[in-house]
């Protein structure tokens, strides 16, 4: 099998380029690549500094560079200052004074709350003076960007800024050099959590809403107090549309919660749940806002709801000895909230608290044998509460599975101890319809059920959540297998653990019901029910499971502790595993690319950035080191892979506002993608020159 550097048809120079690329993929930074990146960064910095007026650059918004004043300054009635310091005021001057709007940098607190125009007079504006109101301003008379206009840029400062930015990017790249979901499983998980924890306060500085009137109307998103009226219902709706369908987070019965919202929350447990639901929904409401300044929007997303989540956490931890179903719901959502922010240590501790609460509440067993609630028993909860308890238990199981990552010492829940049926579909849950479903075992139901109440096809009552639980159960077996390769028989044997896992995974995919298969019809059907995000997660997890299993064929990439030795007579089997690993990595990229076309909010699960990153790593490694470039379709495979990796990078940038981790991962991939594109273009040029 030819390696990437062995392409005799293209000459020695192409082979040299591909060998250099192999060094990049082996995490060895070549000097030529670093010089190319530095030159590209310098060119970008130089081009951006010579375009746009000084006002737009200070406000950090895009400028159209129109002569005699840009449109931004014209719209905001500002003096447009050119790069050389001269003012382009002809357009502003052409507007009659009587028609000009009152323009003030800052509105007072009273005017901003009432959403009325403020003239900005100090110490009291005209509206507050006329109504005898207290007039207070946040900050000085002018925002930071206005004060920065007086500071003319110098060549020295530009060069210094460029150098510091390059240093910062290199430091970020080094710190995330081994930040892969797959690779991190080979290390101690606790160490991985510690190294991944980030100081979000330094990443997300406080937002000065008075700097931008466009942002000021959304300042309630970072208020320490919950909003009132329509705003609180808006963020609750965003929670149920975006977080509720994912994984096993659908344990809150929406109609019951809506009724409680109308009635009012009385206990601390109920208030804590309300705060974390609003905190989760606030981020997706901020994501839906249309703002010209994308940097300001990203800062708003990362800050939105954080104060409410802190309040929920305080309510839970102040009296953490008190145990209730609502407190457990809050803990699970707090775990996800911290994980999204990159605060993995807090998420780890909350996962342990949640699992212990579930044990204390005995959620791992059915509340009573009366699954269909046919008996008249006043002490027994209604069907919707029983189903909510099941979903809570499965949510704890999923949480524990991802936290443990195949390490037995960190795994607190065992499948044999969970003696409840799988969740029913969302329709039955919402309409309070009790039903019988299967257990973790395919085709099995609870043993104590009378045959008379078991339907012919219990699986028909299950939805996406049930199948997601089963694929996560298979994933736990996969990572445990990969961690103990030294005790497993060779994978090419029919009776091996590998063959059994491969068969079970393929059986899961083959027997999926049509209503959750990945097809165009299903995509649009799930769009209508706000379940496209859960469908994307389900199928990305499936392909990532197979990628995880087939990584035994790429020991150098995944740093396997004790990899298998494939003898010469098993090289064909090895190559088939490598090709399958590449195929499933490409499928992940395809699914994510299709999902993002419908909106970034459908990439809401915090595991998707890791899936996209691992997908890119496998594709790049395959075409650089494993692909036989003498194949007739080799060029097509390389180009398609590079396009898929670039698509993953764009998707990671899209997800960066929701997940700080995504921003770091895309920085990690940028250098390698650049090298791949250069190698592919160079090889094409060599072929054209030779053919011509």
How far is the C-alpha of 429 from the C-alpha of 424, rounded, in Å? 7
pTM comes to 0.72
pLDDT at 560: 85
Interacting residues of 31 by C-beta distance below 8 A, sequence separation 6+: none
Is the link from the previous residue into 610 a cis peptide, with omega within 30 of 0?
Answer: no
pLDDT at 10: 44
pLDDT at 213: 55
pLDDT at 645: 94
- For CA atoms 408, 412, 414, 415, the dihedral sign is negative
| DSSP bridge partners of 81 | 87
Contact 475, 428 (CB under 8 A): no
pLDDT at 618: 96
10-residue mean pLDDT series, the chain (692 residues): 39 42 43 39 42 77 82 78 65 42 64 76 81 73 57 42 35 34 39 39 49 71 90 96 95 96 91 97 94 84 95 93 95 97 94 96 94 83 95 97 87 94 96 96 94 94 97 96 90 95 96 94 94 97 97 91 90 96 98 96 95 95 92 93 94 92 84 57 52 52
Q: Using H for helix, E for strand and C for coil, what is the string for 172-198? A: HHHHCCCCCHHHHCCCCHHHHHHHHCC
CA triplet 621, 626, 630: central angle to 5 degrees?
A: 130
pLDDT at 676: 57
What string of DSSP letters covers 637-661?
Answer: HHHHHHHHHHHHHHHHHHHTTT-HH
Contact 679, 686 (CB under 8 A): no
How many CA within 13 A on the CB side of residue 391? Answer: 28
Instruction: Considering only the C-alpha atoms of the chain, give the largest distance between any 2 of them, rounded to a whole number of Å.
Output: 92
pLDDT at 495: 93
Is the link from the previous residue into 379 a cis peptide, with omega within 30 of 0?
Answer: no
pLDDT at 203: 42
Token pair for 558: 């995944």
pLDDT at 559: 86
Per residue in 287-328, pLDDT (tens digit) is: 999 887 888 888 899 999 999 999 999 999 998 889 999 999
pLDDT at 147: 54
pLDDT at 20: 46
- Tokens 């019809």 — which residue? 521
The domains of the chain are located at: 54-148
pLDDT at 55: 80
Contacts of residues 518-525 at CB distance under 8 Å and 24 or more positions apart, as own/partner, are 518/591, 523/594, 523/598
Q: Provide the Cα torsion 586, 592, 596, 602; round to 10°.
A: 170
Report DSSP state, residue 80.
E
Backbone angles phi, psi at 547, to 5 degrees: -60, -40
How far is the C-alpha of 473 from the C-alpha of 117, rounded, in Å? 58
pLDDT at 479: 94
Q: What is the separation of C-alpha 422 from the centre of its chain, rounded to a whole number of angstroms?
A: 26
Helix (H) or strand (E) run with residue 87 in it? strand 87-88
From 292, 287, 226, 339, select the one nearest 62 (Cα to Cα): 292
């Amino acid at each position: 099998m030819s390696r990437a550097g062995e392409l005799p048809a293209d000459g020695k120079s192409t082979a040299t380029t591909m060998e250099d690329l192999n060094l990049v993929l082996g995490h060895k930074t070549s000097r030529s690549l670093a010089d190319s990146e530095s030159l590209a960064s310098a060119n970008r910095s130089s081009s951006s500094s010579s375009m746009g007026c000084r006002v737009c650059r200070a406000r950090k918004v895009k400028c159209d560079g129109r002569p005699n004043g840009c449109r931004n300054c014209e719209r905001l009635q500002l003096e447009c200052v050119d790069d050389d310091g001269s003012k382009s005021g002809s357009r502003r001057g052409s507007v009659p004074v009587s028609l000009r709007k009152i323009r003030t940098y800052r509105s007072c607190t009273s005017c901003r709350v009432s959403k009325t125009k403020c003239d900005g007079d100090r110490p009291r504006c005209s509206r507050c003076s006329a109504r005898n109101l207290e007039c207070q301003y946040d900050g000085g008379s002018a925002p930071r960007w206005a004060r920065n206009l007086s500071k003319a840029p110098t060549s020295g400062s530009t060069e210094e800024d460029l150098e510091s930015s390059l240093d910062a990017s290199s430091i970020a790249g080094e710190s995330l050099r081994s930040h892969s979901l797959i690779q991190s499983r080979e290390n101690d998980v606790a160490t991985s959590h510690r190294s991944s924890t980030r100081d979000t306060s330094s990443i997300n500085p406080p937002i000065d809403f008075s700097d931008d009137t466009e942002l000021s109307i959304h300042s309630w998103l970072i208020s320490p107090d919950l909003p009132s009226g329509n705003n609180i219902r808006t963020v609750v709706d965003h929670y149920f549309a975006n977080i509720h369908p994912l994984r096993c987070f659908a344990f809150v019965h929406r109609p019951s919660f809506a009724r409680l919202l109308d009635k009012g929350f009385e206990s601390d447990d109920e208030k804590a749940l309300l705060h974390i639901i609003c905190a989760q929904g606030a981020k997706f409401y901020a994501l839906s806002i249309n703002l010209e300044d994308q940097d300001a929007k990203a800062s708003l997303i990362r800050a939105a709801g954080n104060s409410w989540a802190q309040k929920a956490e305080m309510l839970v931890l102040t009296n953490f000895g008190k145990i209730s179903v609502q407190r457990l719901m809050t803990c699970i959502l707090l775990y996800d909230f911290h994980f999204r922010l990159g605060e993995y240590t807090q998420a780890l501790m909350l996962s342990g608290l949640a699992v212990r609460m579930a044990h204390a509440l005995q959620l791992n067993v059915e509340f009573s044998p009366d699954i269909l609630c046919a008996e008249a028993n006043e002490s027994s909860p209604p069907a919707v509460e029983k189903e909510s308890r099941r979903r809570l238990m499965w949510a704890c199981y999923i949480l524990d599975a991802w936290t443990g990552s195949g390490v037995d010492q960190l795994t607190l829940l065992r499948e044999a101890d969970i003696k409840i049926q799988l969740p029913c579909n969302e329709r039955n849950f919402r309409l309070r319809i009790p039903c019988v479903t299967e257990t973790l075992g395919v085709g099995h139901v609870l043993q104590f059920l009378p045959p008379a109440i078991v339907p012919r096809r219990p699986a028909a009552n299950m939805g996406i959540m049930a199948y997601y639980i089963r694929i996560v159960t298979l994933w736990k077996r996969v990572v445990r297998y990969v961690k103990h390769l030294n005790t497993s028989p060779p994978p090419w044997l029919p009776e091996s653990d590998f063959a059994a896992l491969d068969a079970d995974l393929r059986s899961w995919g083959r027997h999926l019901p049509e209503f959750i298969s990945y097809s165009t019809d299903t995509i649009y059907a799930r769009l209508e029910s706000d379940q496209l995000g859960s469908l994307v997660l389900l199928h990305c997890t499936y392909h990532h499971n197979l990628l995880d299993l087939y990584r035994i064929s790429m020991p150098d990439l995944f740093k396997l502790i004790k990899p298998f030795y494939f003898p010469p007579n098993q090289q064909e089997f090895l190559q088939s595993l490598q090709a399958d690993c590449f195929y499933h990595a490409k499928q992940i990229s395809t699914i994510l690319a299709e999902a993002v076309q419908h909106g970034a909010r459908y990439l809401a699960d915090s595991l998707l950035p890791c899936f996209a990153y691992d997908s890119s790593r496998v594709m790049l490694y395959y075409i650089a080191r494993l692909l036989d470039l003498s194949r007739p379709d080799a060029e097509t495979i390389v180009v398609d892979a590079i396009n898929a990796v670039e698509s993953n990078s764009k998707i990671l940038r899209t997800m960066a506002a929701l997940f700080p981790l995504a921003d770091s991962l895309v920085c990690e991939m940028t250098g390698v993608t650049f090298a791949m594109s250069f190698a592919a273009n160079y090889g094409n040029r060599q072929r054209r020159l030779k053919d011509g």
